[in-house]
Amino acid sequence: MAVARLLLWVAAAGVVTSTLFLCLVLLASLRFRSRTRKAHTLPDVCPPVSLLKPLCGMEANLESNLASFFQQDYPIFELIFAARTENDPALGVVRSLRERFPQVPVKVVTTGEPRHANAKVCSLMKMYAGASYNYLVISDSDVRVAPTCVREVVRPLLQPAIGLVTCLYRGVPTGGFWSRLEALGMSVEMTSGVLVADLLEGMKFALGPTMATRRDVLDRVGGFGILADYCSDDYVLGAAVYGAGKNVMLSDHVVEHVVINRSFRGSLQHQARWMKSTRFSRVWGHLGSVLTFSVPFGVLGFFAAIQQHRPSLGIAFLSAACLNRMMLALTAGWAVVRDRRSLLFGWLYPLRDLMGFGFWCASFLGRTILWRGDRYRLEHGGRMAPCMGTVLASKNAVVGEALPPTVTVDHLS
């Protein structure tokens, strides 16, 4: 009975901390909405922009995702795509879109095999070399945006003190139960954590799906090369910009992040990789995040109360925890990022919260991650080292042998 009583106290403490976290999210959400209204008072000046889009094979909804960038309501911009080879099927989608939108300047860079652990950053380095303009928007291939995206994320960069703009995102499932749960986590868990971090200490990091910066800022921090061996390259870039004396701003523009994992295994691997990379890049923040979960403490309180023959108390614990998470889904998922699914399926979020705790626990089981079919070992600070069997181009090259060339094409045929 003494153990059950101790567990009951632990559960009570967890419910209290998760409730405090909910209150912080409510406060941060009100602050975000208020700041959103003020953002529209900035001058509507539109400097030319280069949009950098790394590609790697076909993905769900790839054509509609990429098309949203061709359809930007912006006077002067270019799209630069990068793939490892000219035969990448994603470039076939680019060719099709180029025919539909002939007025949009398009460049394609083929990179060859990556020379560093982070293949995406290797692509960014190549695209940056071919960019025509000083204002840059970096966005993943699984992102879909509104026509006003570029206008809204670039506008704050007209202020010299702001060095990087990043965006919240809502998850978009592509079919199946597990895809829906992962999308809920993107809209609710990610949004909640970012809003509270911004409230308590300001933005000292960035979110990878969509970022905007200037050439002078990027050169000041050492360029994309400083990110080449990190898993959480977005976090490192934001921290570098902040460390260089420039502000990182959370935009009022919300993008859509398409969940490409439909199976339980694929979703599990993706979320476990993200949680494990967070463990290595933000050690103390990751440890403290256990106090933001609610349902695991509700479940613990339920069983501890049952052991003490107090079923009513156990039901109260579990009910309070589930209600907490449904309110979180409404606050962060619906009120902030306007994810309609958070409104319709908020009742599912307690299950996602329980799974999130499982991913948190799993993040302490080893340091190996699977990324794009290759295995990497995470080191201190979030650096990646390829495991045996993962060969980088720089290590596979014979002395004196040229690495695969970079090819820039202005007009796709």
pTM exceeding the 0.75 threshold for the entire prediction: yes
Cβ-based neighbours of 317, under 8 Å, separated by 6 or more: 11, 12, 15, 297, 298, 300, 301, 302, 305
Q: How confident is the model at residue 413 (pLDDT cuts 50, 70, 90)?
A: very low
Q: Where does 196-261 show beta strands of DSSP type E?
A: 210-214, 247-250, 255-258
Element (H, E) at 83: strand 77-83
- Band the pLDDT of 400: cuts 50, 70, 90: very low
The average pLDDT across 367-387 equals 84
The pLDDT value recorded for residue 393 is 55
| 57-69 pLDDT tens trace | 999 899 999 999 9
> Residue 245: which residues within 8 A CB-CB, separation 6 or more?
none
Q: What is the pLDDT of residues 34-53, one digit of tens each?
A: 877 665 556 678 999 999 99
Structure tokens at 184: 């809920």
For 246-274, write each residue's pLDDT tens digit: 999 999 999 999 998 778 888 888 888 88
Half-sphere exposure of 341 toward its Cβ, with a 13 Å CA cutoff?
20
- Asked: is 45-271 a CATH 3.90.550.10 domain? The reply is yes
Q: Are strands 210-214 and 162-166 parallel, antiparallel or unpaired?
A: antiparallel
Q: Where are the domains of the chain?
A: 45-271
Q: Which helix (H) or strand (E) holds 39?
A: helix 2-39
| Whether residue 167 has pLDDT greater than 90 | yes
The arithmetic mean of pLDDT across residues 157-183, rounded, is 94
List pLDDT tens digits, range 322-339: 999 999 999 999 999 999
